[in-house]
């Protein structure tokens, strides 16, 4: 079995870092660290070829410099104090010899700095340029790439357009037409689209979930494959007399309708809370819940003031929900933009839309949330 050389291995690591790892980094600190690693890898790769040749050439130039300096000082040439680079040595050996050469040239410069010879300033400048030449030339030296293009399983995701979606669905379902495609906001690093599709004599709406090219986090609900982790809610389904396998066969619409039926029954059994005298009539608050029945997506409020003014308020999320567990109740706070529209007035601003749910009948704290973060969890800024 062939053993790859060190330059080949370094080149492969460098290519994977540039083409696979760095494009997916989102943190500024991670990007900066990756660039440092890239610079180090590039330097190590150069040391197995062009850098060694460069250092050998610069070390050889020191011989003429040392002779000129010795002649100016009125001394015989010392052949770099017995230090002379030999070709075909490793970079580390060459670097060690170069370091001794620099020390010897520095000693000659110290003697020249106290000399009255008119050639001394020019030689001191030449010595400084010689020492700096390695670092000046090194960035212009190109590496030999052993792998011009790393083949990976990751491919560039096409832009989701109405035309692309139509072609994709036609390949799967035959003749149809995508009449409308709209991207929805939010969803923690994943893309959500809603499309109207004409199939035969009828129309239907399709929801598309698409992963971002660089997910916010590489775990949990931020990954598309774990977008709806039904297994995490198996205990809840069992408590309700269902199973994960049965729920997988249901449509999202049927689950929402089932949820609305349960809320209608709850309102019928419990009734409304009494309204304060501040309000002329009962006001309605509707919270848009995620399918985890805990975290909210904002909501809407309809109210009438004692002045007779009526307002319709829509609250649109601008951040993820924050869920706290307190005395058996899951309380959700979500920062939202609100737009309050009245008959002659309109207000805009920011509001904390709060809702609470007695999920699992208060038997345990929620472990997995679709649209929020539990209070002792982690969320990126």
User: pLDDT-derived band of residue 318, with 50, 70 and 90 as boundaries?
Assistant: confident
pLDDT in tens, 79-96: 554 445 555 567 888 888
Half-sphere exposure of 228 (CA within 13 A, CB side): 8
User: pLDDT-derived band of residue 47, with 50, 70 and 90 as boundaries?
Assistant: confident
Query: Do residues 263 and 284 make contact, with C-beta atoms less than 8 angstroms apart?
Result: no
Q: What is the pLDDT of residue 12?
A: 81
pLDDT in tens, 112-142: 888 888 888 888 888 888 888 888 888 887 7
Query: Do residues 160 and 191 make contact, with C-beta atoms less than 8 angstroms apart?
Result: yes
User: pLDDT-derived band of residue 336, with 50, 70 and 90 as boundaries?
Assistant: very high
- Cβ within 8 Å of residue 220, ≥6 positions away: 226
What token pair was written down for 324?
Answer: 């706290």
User: pLDDT-derived band of residue 193, with 50, 70 and 90 as boundaries?
Assistant: confident
Q: What is the pLDDT of residue 273?
A: 55
Q: What is the mean pLDDT of residues 58-67?
A: 82
Q: Which long-range contacts (CB under 8 A, 24 or more apart) does 130-137 make?
A: 130/58, 130/61, 130/62, 130/65, 130/105, 131/102, 131/105, 133/58, 133/61, 134/54, 134/55, 134/58, 134/98, 137/54
Q: Exposure of 223 by Cβ count < 10 A (0-12 exposed, 13-18 middle, 19+ buried)?
A: middle
Q: What is the mean pLDDT of residues 358-374?
A: 72
Q: What is the mean pLDDT of residues 305-333?
A: 83
Query: Taking 60 as the threshold, does the pLDDT of residue 62 lie above it?
Result: yes
Q: What is the mean pLDDT of residues 60-81?
A: 76
* Coil, strand or helix at 102: helix
User: pLDDT-derived band of residue 314, with 50, 70 and 90 as boundaries?
Assistant: very high
Q: What is the pLDDT of residue 371?
A: 67
Query: Do residues 367 and 374 make contact, with C-beta atoms less than 8 angstroms apart?
Result: yes
Q: What is the mean pLDDT of the chain?
A: 78
Query: Taking 90 as the threshold, does the pLDDT of residue 64 lie above it?
Result: no
Query: Taking 90 as the threshold, does the pLDDT of residue 300 lie above it?
Result: yes
Q: What is the pLDDT of residue 381?
A: 41
Flag the least confident range among 16-25, 64-73, 74-83, 267-276. Answer: 74-83
Q: What is the pLDDT of residue 83?
A: 46
User: pLDDT-derived band of residue 49, with 50, 70 and 90 as boundaries?
Assistant: confident
pLDDT in tens, 209-234: 887 766 655 555 566 666 666 777 77
Q: What is the mean pLDDT of residues 11-40?
A: 82
- Give the percent of the chain with pLDDT over 90: 8
Q: What is the pLDDT of residue 275?
A: 52
Q: What is the pLDDT of residue 213?
A: 67
What is the DSSP code string of 45-87?
A: HHTTTHHHHHHHHHHHHHHHHHHHHHHHHT----TGGG----T
CA-closest candidate to residue 133, choices 80, 36, 65: 65
CA distances 30 to 11, 26, 187, 188, 302, Å, are 21, 7, 23, 20, 46
pLDDT in tens, 148-177: 544 444 455 556 888 889 998 998 888 999
């Amino acid at each position: 079995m062939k053993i790859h050389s060190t330059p080949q291995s370094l080149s492969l690591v460098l290519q994977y870092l540039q083409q696979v790892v760095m494009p997916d980094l989102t943190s500024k600190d991670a990007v900066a660290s990756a660039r440092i690693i890239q610079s180090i890898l590039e330097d190590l790769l150069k040391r197995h070829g062009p850098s060694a040749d460069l250092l050998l050439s610069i070390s050889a130039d020191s011989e003429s410099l040392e002779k000129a300096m010795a002649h100016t000082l009125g001394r015989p040439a010392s052949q770099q104090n017995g230090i002379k680079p030999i070709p075909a040595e490793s970079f580390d050996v060459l670097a060690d010899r170069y370091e001794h050469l620099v020390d010897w040239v520095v000693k000659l410069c110290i003697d020249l700095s106290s000399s009255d010879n008119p050639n001394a300033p020019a030689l001191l400048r030449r010595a400084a340029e010689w020492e700096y030449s390695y670092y000046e030339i090194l960035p212009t030296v190109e590496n030999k790439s052993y792998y011009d293009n790393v083949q990976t399983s990751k491919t560039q995701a096409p832009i989701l357009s109405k035309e692309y979606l139509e072609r994709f669905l036609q390949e799967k379902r035959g003749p149809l037409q995508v009449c409308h495609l709209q991207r929805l906001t939010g969803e923690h690093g994943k893309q959500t689209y809603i499309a109207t599709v004409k199939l035969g004599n009828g129309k239907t709406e399709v929801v598309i979930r698409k992963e971002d090219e660089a997910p916010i986090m590489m775990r949990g609900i931020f990954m598309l494959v774990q977008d709806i982790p039904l297994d995490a809610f198996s205990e809840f389904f069992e408590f309700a007399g269902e199973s994960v396998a049965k729920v997988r066969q249901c449509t999202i619409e049927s689950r929402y309708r089932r949820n609305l039926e349960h809320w209608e029954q709850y309102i019928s059994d419990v009734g409304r809370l009494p309204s304060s005298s501040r309000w002329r009539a009962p006001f309605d608050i509707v919270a848009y819940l995620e399918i985890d029945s805990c975290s909210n997506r904002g909501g809407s409020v309809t109210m009438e003031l004692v002045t007779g003014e009526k307002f319709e308020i829509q609250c649109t999320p601008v951040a993820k929900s924050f869920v706290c567990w307190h005395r058996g109740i899951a309380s959700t706070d979500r920062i939202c933009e609100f737009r309050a529209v009245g008959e002659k007035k309109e207000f805009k601003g920011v509001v904390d839309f709060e809702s609470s749910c007695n999920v699992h009948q208060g038997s345990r704290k929620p472990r997995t949330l679709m649209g929020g973060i539990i209070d002792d969890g982690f969320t990126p800024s």
